[in-house]
Amino acid sequence: MNAHSSIKAIPEIPISIFFAANYKNINKRNLTLEKQTAIYLSYIQKIRPLALVDLHAKQLFLDKTNYYDYESFLQHVFAKFEIAKKIGAAYQYVDKNPFYTFHYKKLKKLSKDPTFIIIVRDYRANVLSRKSKPLNKPGNIIYNAFRWRFFFKEINKLSGNSDCLVIRYEDLVINETKEISKICDFLSLPFESSMLSDRMVDNISESVVEEKTKRFVDEHFSGLSKPMHSSKIEAWKNQLSTTEIEQCDCICSKYGEKFGYLPASDKKMSYLLVVILHLPWYLRALYDVYKEHIIYHLPIKLKLWRLKKKMG
């Protein structure tokens, strides 16, 4: 999306929701918000490779700053970001974060006419991906299957909304032109062939501010150095065991089938029994996703302290 001349895509920096509870109603410049934003982005930069994402945290508000509400404040901040060498204001911003799934109603109030693009993925592929990248979250199959279910339970509520477009990751990989054109039409923008060009980036971990976060970058940004292959779509068939696939089917197929992800076998397991047998993982997954509603209302200083502690 960032390759489009009218779009600037923000890579999973949930600043919009982070400050919204405290500042969504501002109607003039707010120096406290600016100072807290600079601190927030300095923490986030530690796990963002400068060669790919430079947030310019120290320079954000040095020039003449003009914003009149929270939306225009965000636009000012996004304009300062340098994303894959793109800097400056854009006609449209794409603000991406998986946990925005749980903030749909809040996000609608932050912009005059927002639209939402929801990209879904086969639950077994998602579980396999998270099993392979357990740096920040457990790689446990049961935990990640429950987590997927909670996300898609929410997505299912949104999928019929006129301001929401659902795209399947698998369709995007198999027919990139068609699916990206669909996204452009939804955003009322012309399709640009540059969006299909080589977007791979090499050696991104070499430009990370903190040496100790390079493993995180290698895991979470490694896909940017690899092309998309349709062969990876069904890798779960060979890399998950029969039992793991059956467990995923039991937990996720109720919502997976609504998006075309059919269970792999006819063997039926009791969902309630799986919950009872794996109650600690169920509760941990439930907390992991719904804590977003709690964190949203925390004081900014406490949220900044949590973020600093998380970043080490």
Residue 34, in any domain of the structure: yes
Residue 272, in any domain of the structure: yes
- Most distant CA pair in the chain, distance: 64
The span from the CA of 297 to the CA of 277, in Å, is 33
The reported pTM is 0.87
Residue 146, in any domain of the structure: yes
Beta-sheet pairing, 82-83 with 53-54: antiparallel
Which band of pLDDT confidence, cut at 50, 70 and 90, is reported for residue 215?
A: low
Using the predicted structure, report yes or no on whether residue 199 has a pLDDT greater than 60. no
Counting the structural domains of the chain, the total is 1
Total length of the chain: 312
- pLDDT tens for residues 8-54? 999 899 999 999 999 999 999 999 999 999 999 999 998 888 888 99
Residue 13 in tokens: 């920096």
At residue 50, the pLDDT reads 86
At residue 95, the pLDDT reads 95
At residue 128, the pLDDT reads 95
Average pLDDT over residues 96-110: 95
Residue 1, in any domain of the structure: no
Using the predicted structure, report yes or no on whether residue 214 has a pLDDT greater than 80. no
Average pLDDT over residues 294-310: 94
At residue 81, the pLDDT reads 95
The span from the CA of 23 to the CA of 33, in Å, is 8
CATH of the domain at 215: 3.40.50
- pLDDT tens for residues 126-141? 999 999 876 667 899 9
The span from the CA of 195 to the CA of 155, in Å, is 26
Residue 280, in any domain of the structure: yes
Using the predicted structure, report yes or no on whether residue 212 has a pLDDT greater than 60. no
Spacing of C-alpha 213 from chain mean position: 19
Residue with tokens 């060498």: 85
Residue 2, in any domain of the structure: no
Percent of the chain with pLDDT over 90: 72
Half-sphere exposure of 247 (CA within 13 A, CB side): 19
Average pLDDT over residues 139-157: 96
Compute the mean pLDDT over every residue in the chain, rounded to the nearest whole number. Answer: 89
Residue 116, in any domain of the structure: yes
At residue 222, the pLDDT reads 53
Residue 87, in any domain of the structure: yes
Which band of pLDDT confidence, cut at 50, 70 and 90, is reported for residue 203?
A: low
Which band of pLDDT confidence, cut at 50, 70 and 90, is reported for residue 176?
A: very high
- pLDDT tens for residues 111-129? 988 999 999 999 999 999 9
Q: Which domain holds residue 121?
A: 7-311
Using the predicted structure, report yes or no on whether residue 64 has a pLDDT greater than 80. no
At residue 311, the pLDDT reads 79
At residue 69, the pLDDT reads 95
Contact assessment for residue 259 and residue 168, using Cβ atoms and an 8 Å cutoff:
yes
The span from the CA of 79 to the CA of 82, in Å, is 8
